[in-house]
Amino acid sequence: MGVGKTTVGRRLATALNRPFKDADEEIENAAGRTVSEIFDDFGEQAFRDGERKIIARLLEEPPMILALGGGAFIDPETRANIKGKAISVWLKADIETLMARVSKRNTRPLLKTEDPEKVMRNLMETRSSVYSEADIHVNADQRTHQLTVDAIIDALRDRDANHA
Protein backbone atom coordinates (compact mmCIF):
# COMPACT_ATOMS: atom_id res chain seq x y z
CA MET A 1 0.00 0.00 0.00
CA GLY A 2 1.44 3.34 -1.05
CA VAL A 3 4.53 1.97 -2.74
CA GLY A 4 3.42 3.29 -6.15
CA LYS A 5 2.27 0.10 -7.86
CA THR A 6 -0.23 1.82 -10.15
CA THR A 7 1.90 4.83 -11.09
CA VAL A 8 5.03 2.74 -11.57
CA GLY A 9 3.01 0.10 -13.42
CA ARG A 10 1.62 2.63 -15.89
CA ARG A 11 5.07 4.04 -16.59
CA LEU A 12 6.59 0.57 -16.90
CA ALA A 13 3.88 -0.44 -19.37
CA THR A 14 4.63 2.62 -21.49
CA ALA A 15 8.38 1.95 -21.37
CA LEU A 16 7.89 -1.71 -22.36
CA ASN A 17 5.09 -1.00 -24.86
CA ARG A 18 2.66 -3.29 -23.04
CA PRO A 19 -0.91 -2.69 -21.93
CA PHE A 20 -1.44 -1.79 -18.28
CA LYS A 21 -4.18 -3.01 -15.97
CA ASP A 22 -4.79 -2.42 -12.30
CA ALA A 23 -6.41 -5.36 -10.52
CA ASP A 24 -8.33 -3.10 -8.13
CA GLU A 25 -9.79 -1.11 -11.05
CA GLU A 26 -10.74 -4.35 -12.80
CA ILE A 27 -12.46 -5.57 -9.61
CA GLU A 28 -14.34 -2.29 -9.26
CA ASN A 29 -15.47 -2.45 -12.90
CA ALA A 30 -16.66 -6.04 -12.52
CA ALA A 31 -18.45 -5.37 -9.22
CA GLY A 32 -19.85 -1.97 -10.11
CA ARG A 33 -18.62 -0.57 -6.78
CA THR A 34 -15.40 0.66 -5.21
CA VAL A 35 -12.98 -1.51 -3.27
CA SER A 36 -13.99 0.38 -0.10
CA GLU A 37 -17.67 -0.33 -0.78
CA ILE A 38 -16.95 -4.02 -1.34
CA PHE A 39 -15.06 -4.17 1.97
CA ASP A 40 -17.82 -2.25 3.79
CA ASP A 41 -20.74 -4.18 2.28
CA PHE A 42 -19.36 -7.71 2.02
CA GLY A 43 -16.11 -7.86 3.98
CA GLU A 44 -12.51 -8.57 3.14
CA GLN A 45 -13.03 -12.27 2.36
CA ALA A 46 -15.59 -11.51 -0.36
CA PHE A 47 -13.22 -8.95 -1.83
CA ARG A 48 -10.33 -11.46 -1.81
CA ASP A 49 -12.51 -14.09 -3.51
CA GLY A 50 -13.39 -11.67 -6.31
CA GLU A 51 -9.79 -10.49 -6.52
CA ARG A 52 -8.56 -14.07 -6.99
CA LYS A 53 -11.01 -14.66 -9.86
CA ILE A 54 -10.25 -11.37 -11.62
CA ILE A 55 -6.48 -11.90 -11.41
CA ALA A 56 -6.82 -15.46 -12.73
CA ARG A 57 -8.78 -14.10 -15.71
CA LEU A 58 -6.25 -11.32 -16.34
CA LEU A 59 -3.35 -13.80 -16.30
CA GLU A 60 -4.99 -15.61 -19.23
CA GLU A 61 -4.83 -12.47 -21.37
CA PRO A 62 -1.85 -11.48 -23.57
CA PRO A 63 1.22 -10.15 -21.69
CA MET A 64 0.64 -6.93 -19.78
CA ILE A 65 1.82 -5.00 -16.78
CA LEU A 66 -0.60 -5.80 -13.97
CA ALA A 67 -0.63 -3.87 -10.70
CA LEU A 68 -1.95 -5.93 -7.81
CA GLY A 69 -3.39 -4.77 -4.53
CA GLY A 70 -1.13 -5.29 -1.53
CA GLY A 71 -2.96 -8.40 -0.33
CA ALA A 72 -3.32 -10.22 -3.65
CA PHE A 73 0.07 -11.96 -3.63
CA ILE A 74 -0.62 -13.22 -0.09
CA ASP A 75 -3.31 -15.56 -1.39
CA PRO A 76 -1.59 -18.93 -2.09
CA GLU A 77 -3.74 -19.70 -5.14
CA THR A 78 -3.14 -16.27 -6.67
CA ARG A 79 0.58 -16.44 -5.89
CA ALA A 80 0.89 -19.88 -7.54
CA ASN A 81 -1.01 -18.62 -10.57
CA ILE A 82 1.29 -15.60 -10.85
CA LYS A 83 4.41 -17.76 -10.45
CA GLY A 84 3.23 -20.04 -13.24
CA LYS A 85 2.25 -17.33 -15.72
CA ALA A 86 4.08 -14.09 -14.96
CA ILE A 87 7.13 -12.35 -13.56
CA SER A 88 6.40 -10.81 -10.17
CA VAL A 89 8.01 -7.65 -8.85
CA TRP A 90 8.08 -6.63 -5.19
CA LEU A 91 8.31 -2.87 -4.78
CA LYS A 92 9.79 -2.36 -1.32
CA ALA A 93 9.67 0.86 0.71
CA ASP A 94 10.21 1.89 4.31
CA ILE A 95 7.35 2.73 6.66
CA GLU A 96 8.03 6.49 6.50
CA THR A 97 7.77 6.54 2.71
CA LEU A 98 4.60 4.44 2.72
CA MET A 99 2.84 6.44 5.43
CA ALA A 100 3.66 9.73 3.70
CA ARG A 101 2.10 8.40 0.51
CA VAL A 102 -1.01 6.70 1.94
CA SER A 103 -1.89 9.67 4.13
CA LYS A 104 -2.71 11.67 0.98
CA ARG A 105 -5.94 9.70 0.37
CA ASN A 106 -8.53 8.13 2.63
CA THR A 107 -9.47 5.30 0.27
CA ARG A 108 -7.56 2.43 1.89
CA PRO A 109 -10.05 0.14 3.66
CA LEU A 110 -7.43 -1.56 5.82
CA LEU A 111 -6.15 1.80 7.09
CA LYS A 112 -9.52 3.17 8.21
CA THR A 113 -8.54 2.80 11.84
CA GLU A 114 -7.35 4.93 14.74
CA ASP A 115 -3.72 3.87 14.21
CA PRO A 116 -3.05 3.37 10.48
CA GLU A 117 0.72 3.28 11.00
CA LYS A 118 0.39 0.35 13.39
CA VAL A 119 -1.76 -1.46 10.81
CA MET A 120 0.80 -0.69 8.09
CA ARG A 121 3.67 -1.98 10.26
CA ASN A 122 1.73 -5.18 11.00
CA LEU A 123 0.98 -5.68 7.30
CA MET A 124 4.64 -5.17 6.43
CA GLU A 125 5.73 -7.68 9.08
CA THR A 126 3.20 -10.35 8.11
CA ARG A 127 3.46 -9.92 4.35
CA SER A 128 7.17 -9.43 3.75
CA SER A 129 8.07 -13.12 3.95
CA VAL A 130 5.50 -13.87 1.25
CA TYR A 131 6.45 -10.84 -0.84
CA SER A 132 10.05 -12.07 -0.74
CA GLU A 133 8.93 -14.94 -3.00
CA ALA A 134 8.56 -12.44 -5.86
CA ASP A 135 10.89 -12.94 -8.81
CA ILE A 136 12.32 -9.42 -8.63
CA HIS A 137 12.79 -7.10 -5.64
CA VAL A 138 13.12 -3.35 -6.21
CA ASN A 139 13.69 -0.73 -3.53
CA ALA A 140 11.24 2.15 -4.02
CA ASP A 141 12.28 4.14 -0.90
CA GLN A 142 12.44 7.88 -1.35
CA ARG A 143 13.00 7.60 -5.08
CA THR A 144 11.01 8.92 -7.99
CA HIS A 145 8.63 6.64 -9.81
CA GLN A 146 10.82 6.90 -12.92
CA LEU A 147 13.89 5.69 -11.03
CA THR A 148 11.82 2.76 -9.78
CA VAL A 149 10.75 1.97 -13.35
CA ASP A 150 14.36 2.13 -14.49
CA ALA A 151 15.38 -0.26 -11.69
CA ILE A 152 12.67 -2.73 -12.73
CA ILE A 153 13.77 -2.61 -16.36
CA ASP A 154 17.38 -3.21 -15.29
CA ALA A 155 16.29 -6.16 -13.13
CA LEU A 156 14.26 -7.62 -16.02
CA ARG A 157 17.27 -7.33 -18.34
CA ASP A 158 19.50 -9.01 -15.75
CA ARG A 159 16.93 -11.75 -15.30
CA ASP A 160 16.66 -12.31 -19.07
CA ALA A 161 20.45 -12.43 -19.39
CA ASN A 162 20.69 -15.02 -16.61
CA HIS A 163 17.90 -17.15 -18.12
CA ALA A 164 19.20 -17.05 -21.69
DSSP string, 78-99: HHHHHHHHS--EEEE--HHHHH
Task: Say which residues have a Cβ less than 8 Å from residue 164's Cβ, sequence separation at least 6.
Answer: none
1: pLDDT strictly greater than 90: no
Task: Say which residues have a Cβ less than 8 Å from residue 90's Cβ, sequence separation at least 6.
Answer: 131, 132, 134, 136, 137, 138
Range list of H helices, 32-70:
35-42, 44-58
| CA–CA distance, 25 with 136 (Å, rounded to integer) | 24
pLDDT at 3: 73
Between 114 and 90, name the one with better pLDDT. 90
pLDDT single digits (tens) 20-71: 999 999 999 999 999 888 988 998 888 899 999 999 999 999 999 999 988 8
pLDDT at 118: 83
pLDDT single digits (tens) 101-156: 666 666 555 556 667 678 778 878 888 899 999 999 998 886 788 999 999 999 99
pLDDT at 67: 95
Domain 5-162 = CATH 3.30.70.360: no
pLDDT at 102: 67
Domain coordinates of the chain in residue numbers?
Answer: 5-162
| CA–CA distance, 105 with 87 (Å, rounded to integer) | 29
pLDDT at 79: 95
| CA–CA distance, 139 with 152 (Å, rounded to integer) | 9
| CA–CA distance, 160 with 164 (Å, rounded to integer) | 6
